[in-house]
Amino acid sequence: MASLNIEIDENPTEIIVRLIGEGSTCEADRLQLSLTRLMAVRPRLVVSDMAGLLFVTSLAIGVLVQFRRAIARSGGRIQLAHLQPGVLEAFQNARLDSLFEITN
């Protein structure tokens, strides 16, 4: 099983979070820890580049939902970008594609 690499690039206009590998249940805690650190920054825009994310479990999706709510409470927003077909389908099946701003 491949692990999840989380790359974070901060610049003045946005934070880019690249998720590469597998968003498995085993990796959800690490994802949550990385995203919790970003909440303290109170970013206006977070772009989660998911081009390299091979699949995502419901637990990892739950972490992203919590992160989105925290960012929205502080006046920011999150975009999910470049979702692989299987990952997009997971968001659609959970009916979360309307909750997130999904871009290509």
Domain ranges of the chain: 4-103
Specify whether the CB–CB gap between 24 and 60 falls below 8 A: yes
% pLDDT > 90, the chain: 88
- Closest Cα partner for 75 from 39, 101, 103, 47? 39
| Local confidence band at 75 (pLDDT 50, 70, 90 cut-offs) | very high
3.40.50.150, 1.10.260.40, 3.30.70.580, 3.30.750.24: CATH of 4-103: 3.30.750.24
Q: What is the pTM of this model?
A: 0.92
